[in-house]
Structure 1
Amino acid sequence: MKVSELISRPPISVEIDDSIKEASKIMSKENVGSVVVTDEGKIAGIVTERDIIRAIADETDLNMPVSVIMSKNLVTINGDQDVSEAAALMMQKGIRHLIVVDSNGSLLGVVSIRDVLKALGKLVLDLTVW
């Protein structure tokens, strides 16, 4: 199964100068665990629930821009790659979200560890129930 098959919705994104508070509101409203941060249409980073929790714990002003807390060292995967490769990459890097891009590097979406585990679980079940 390809990673792109796990993408169930368009990516949710915020602009680099949007506030942490605004990003957290969008994440809550859209029921997602991360948002892609863009700068003039280009991928600049990602903000996850953990980043928001860390900001609150550190008493960061939530009116500060998301650029203050976003992860800039992005880990991406091509949508044509296999789900097992996504799982291996997440384990290797110790991350829970992967930015999925096409062969041109354009954003397709985000997959979470939950998405990957569901897909792998389904594949295992499909193999054992024949």
Structure 2
Amino acid sequence: MYATVKDVMTTKVMSVRGDAPFKDVAEALITHTVSALPVVDDEGHVIGIVSEEDLLHKEGFKERYYREDYHPPLRVRLLHRLGQKGGDGRVKARGDTAADLMTAPAITVQQHASVVSAIRLMIEHGVKRLPVVDADGSLQGIVSRHDLLKVFVRGDADIAREVEENILGHSLWAAPNTATATVAHGVVTLSGHMHRREDAQLAVRITQRVNGVVDVIDNLEWDVDDVPARTRHRR
């Protein structure tokens, strides 16, 4: 019913070992056209993230590995300047390996976590990608903001069919049940009649978890009001 990180993540992900030299890290970032790489130990466990921002603490990085007229994004330049004022920036400026340069611990997400939880992690920590790990912390892939948006790129007709067949048409609802769904731009409108108010509320909650659903408009009516007053959230 709902997408997990495993459904949308990229499984072919470049990583570096903690003992990887500065030059190898820089060349990996450029060769693979990425701005950050997971750092792993000998067993493949994620121990940190090394980014272009981390490498910029090294004077001459951009001149050596990019053109001399290369200008990092404003956010990168500001973070670089702020970092140089603190101990962490000075330590990274002296670093020669991925372990010296990386940001640790890495913000990771497990492969069976929901897409929603991954989005929340990104927002909370201000990151654009998350290494995906298994229960042991071993690298399984990487998920980006772009990957997470894939769940919303789904046709309205496909969403409507799933809601109608797999949710509203399910035998668990008490009769009579005349509920229907229409979808426009990912917004589902539930209309019609269900026997119990609790059933109607549950149908709304389940529909909200369907892949591609942006929002749910609840226009359902009911015959029996079986929801305790203290838990009611609509008329």
Specify the TM-score bucket, using the shorter chain as the normaliser: 0.7 to 0.9
What is the one-letter code of the residue matched to 1:82?
S
Deviation, 1:94, is: 1.7
Q: Could you say what the CA RMSD is over the residues aligned between the two structures, in angstroms?
A: 2.8
CA 1:49–1:111: 2 relative to 1, 3 Å = farther
1:72: which partner in 2?
A: 104
User: For residues 7 and 46 of structure 1, do their structure 2 counterparts lie closer, same or farther at Cα, with a shift above 3 Å needed?
Assistant: same
Q: Which residue identity does 1:36 align to in structure 2?
A: P
Aligned partner (choices 122, 129, 134) of residue 97 of structure 1: 129
Deviation at 1:70, TM superposition (A): 0.3
Name the residue aligned to 1:122: 153
Deviation at residue 114 of structure 1 after TM alignment = 3.2
| Partner SS for 2:153 | helix
Residues 31, 9 of structure 1: CA spacing in aligned structure 2 closer, same or farther, 3 A cutoff? farther
Q: CA deviation at 1:124?
A: 9.0
Q: SS state of the match for residue 32, structure 1?
A: coil
Cα distance, 1:100 vs structure 2: 0.7
Corresponding residue to 1:46 among 35, 44, 49: 49
Identity of aligned residues (%): 24
The answer on whether the counterparts of 2:29 and 2:37 sit within 8 Å (CA) in structure 1 is yes
Which of the residues 63, 84, 90 maps onto 2:116? 84
Which ranges of structure 1 fall in alignment gaps of 5 or more residues?
none
**Amino acid in structure 2 at the alignment position of 1:26:** A
TM-score normalised by length of structure 2: 0.47
Cα 1:79–1:123 shift into 2, 3 Å: farther
* Pair 36,109 (structure 1): closer, same or farther in 2 beyond 3 Å: same
Q: Secondary structure of 1:24's partner?
A: helix
Counterpart residue type for residue 100 of structure 2: V
How many corresponding residue pairs? 128
> How far off its partner does 1:87 sit?
0.8
Provide the rounded CA distance (Å) in 2 between the counterparts of 1:123 and 1:72: 36
- How far, CA to CA, are the matches of 1:81 and 1:32 in structure 2? 24
Q: In the alignment, is the contact (CA less than 8 A) between 2:9 and 2:144 conserved in 1?
A: no
CA shift for structure 1 position 123: 5.3
The structure that has the greater radius of gyration is 2
Q: Which residue of 2 is the match for residue 26 of structure 1?
A: 28
